[in-house]
Structure 1
Amino acid sequence: MPESVTVEELVKNVRLKVLQGEDYLQRPIVTSDICRPALEFAGYFTHYPAERIQLLGITETSFAKDMTQAHRTEYMTKMCMPQTPCFVISTDLPIPIELSKAAEAAHIPILGTHLTSSRILSNMTSYLVGCLAKRQSLHGVLVDINGIGVLITGDSGVGKSETALELVRRGHRLVADDRVEVYARDEQTLVGSAPAILDHLMEIRGIGIIDVMNLYGAGAIMESDIINFIVHLETWTPDAQFDRLGDRGDTQTIQGVIIPKVSIPVKTGRNLAIIIESAAMNYRAETMGYDATKTFDDNLNRLIQQNSAHDTQVKEQKQENEYD
């Protein structure tokens, strides 16, 4: 995980324009937080987050226009701190002259975009979070099954990679094998990708390292994917207890994000690829409001009620016969 991103990388990946300071694009960005200066234009710098990208839009520039030139010069000079990575001006607004002079003196680039402040703020935050978020390395295999990111976990040698290879052969896509680098994009979204050294590669015992993209094409791999679902493979034993109805609601928390989880017993003769594929499709059905377990419970309750009514009817008929 990089500790910083350069302004030049931000420009390329978020499609910003360099309005000023092309020679200073190697300045580092160390946080995904972005500042829209407000109190600073009123002269309050006690808690000024100088290490953040400073975003100026219609509101900020309009407020600055109502200030005296002396105040604009003073405040914009104070905003150009040594750790400030860059300024971004939205909505194709012109650069305030005072900011242009102060940024040039401090060797800080000024970037521009035609997008609104809200839109460019979202784009920059999304990119920076992906680059700077804390990573965690997990042992497992990440596969995209019809748009559902499935993290396959289990003990070494249980068959995770072989199962993932069969899923790739069935038309699904590999994200990472053996090690999965994950980070929380937000409180509800966990994203996984492969370490650079393992990108597109799989280890199959007895064969060795294979390149999935060369063997199965570019459509067989993905660079990263949201982890929606966890499948844990466990070696089957006679005394092991596994969920048979799917109503346990097991989960696993990774970096504060709660992910649904199922455990599948591994036994000779079981087609794990089809089972995991079915588990992923069942998860999708549940997210769309269809719960097979509930359907089974409803059918069972209906059958119990019918049998109870039948037993009551038989009992009443028997009593009538005895009375006669």
Structure 2
Amino acid sequence: MYTVELATLIGKMNLEVLTPDIDYKHIKICQPDVNRPALQLAGFFDHFDSDRVQIIGRVEEAYMRKMEKDHGIGILSRLMDYKVPCIVFCRGIDVEPELIQLATQKCVPILKTNKTTSSFMAEVIRWLNVELAPRMSIHGVLVDVYGEGILITGESGIGKSEAALELIKRGHRLVTDDVVEIKKVSDETLIGMAPDITRHFIELRGIGIINVKTLFGVESVKNTQAIDLVIKLEEWNKEKEYDRLGLEEQYIEYLGNKVVCHSIPIRPGRNLAVIVESAAVNHRQKKMGYNAAQELYNRVTNNLMKKNKAIEE
């Protein structure tokens, strides 16, 4: 299970801390979802997930105003007894001094933002889903080619880094070399990034380590990229039959998500950069509804039907 420090959330969302006496640096968030404590304010705490960030908006604030003051403070005191990570008041709602004092006693940070409740919730959930996403690390190279995230894999020394370097010289962008950290941000999307230590570096056998950002400029690198296509490089095997039409997609699975995968046989003289560029453009065309292999198949099928019809006549 991954966690996010509350201090990081406060800085990212530009939240105002109303309880400065609380040392919140040790508080960590482990749930990407948030909670608006509507039922809890009514006294129903069954199935209450106390690990979530608690958000109070205009509706909750209006409901508490209709309560007697002592009763409202008592309900929030019971909420704080569950050791929630924090309580965020949206829309710039003024917080009673008694509540701030109570929160300080119970070591529950009270935060404030001027954003609307819905927009703040959406932004927090999106950000936490990325930060707390399941992840894994694999050996490979990730590059951005015409906006498509291409993950190049294969055995060590097969030419992944050299292909990435040629792509960079042709105007594309490097995300990471050697180690790719993959995050599953949704059932459809995988995000790849570089470890902090190796970010912007490429290892070239016989030369050593080079800094792509320094050599080719800031436009040649990128910090994160969605993984759209996997290209697996492998040594040429004359006894193996390789797909020459591409009518059926092959897939590889990472963290439960399937990604289209092409196996590319390597022989001397093949220009890997051009092959990767062509694969990226072809994959984009398929996503836009055009499949060259299917069109060729339809042409051949129609031609055979015409010939058969001519023979019958």
Indicate the TM-score class for this superposition, using the shorter chain for normalisation. Answer: over 0.9
* Residue 74 of structure 1 pairs with residue 74 of structure 2: yes
Q: Which runs of 5+ in 2 are unaligned?
A: none
TM-score (norm 2): 0.93
Alignment CA distance shift 1:288-1:96 (3 Å): farther
Match of 1:295 in 2: 295
Match of 1:166 in 2: 166
Whole-angstrom CA distance in 2 between matches of 1:110 and 1:164: 48
Match of 1:317 in 2: none
Match of 1:6 in 2: 5
Between 225-234 and 90-99, the greater mean CA deviation after superposition:
90-99
Q: Which runs of 5+ in 1 are unaligned?
A: 314-324
Match of 2:122 in 1: 122
Name which one, 1 or 2, has greater alpha-carbon Rg: 1
Whole-angstrom CA distance in 2 between matches of 1:133 and 1:196: 18
**Structure 1 residue ranges, 4+ long, deviating more than 6 angstroms after superposition:** none
Structure 1 position 281, deviation (Å): 0.7
Alignment CA distance shift 1:253-1:214 (3 Å): same
Whole-angstrom CA distance in 2 between matches of 1:16 and 1:278: 46
Structure 1 position 3, deviation (Å): 4.2
TM-score (norm 1): 0.90
- 3-state SS of 1:195 partner: coil
Structure 1 position 99, deviation (Å): 3.5
Match of 1:99 in 2: 99
Match of 2:17 in 1: 18
Between 133-142 and 275-284, the greater mean CA deviation after superposition:
133-142
Whole-angstrom CA distance in 1 between matches of 2:68 and 2:82: 25
Match of 2:214 in 1: 214
Decide whether the 8 Å contact of 2:28 with 2:85 is kept in 1. Answer: yes
* Residue 39 of structure 1 pairs with residue 39 of structure 2: yes
Whole-angstrom CA distance in 1 between matches of 2:71 and 2:282: 62
Match of 2:205 in 1: 205
Identical aligned residues as a percent:
37
Q: Which amino acid aligns with 2:146?
A: N
Whole-angstrom CA distance in 1 between matches of 2:231 and 2:256: 18
Decide whether the 8 Å contact of 1:76 with 1:102 is kept in 2. Answer: no
Structure 1 position 209, deviation (Å): 0.9
Per-residue CA deviations over 1:38-75 (Å, capped at 9, x if unaligned) read: 22111122332222211111222222222232321111
Match of 2:281 in 1: 281
RMSD: 1.9
Between 15-24 and 281-290, the greater mean CA deviation after superposition:
15-24
Whole-angstrom CA distance in 2 between matches of 1:169 and 1:141: 16
Match of 2:50 in 1: 50
Per-residue CA deviations over 1:175-220 (Å, capped at 9, x if unaligned) read: 1111101110011111111111111111111111111111111111
- 3-state SS of 2:197 partner: helix
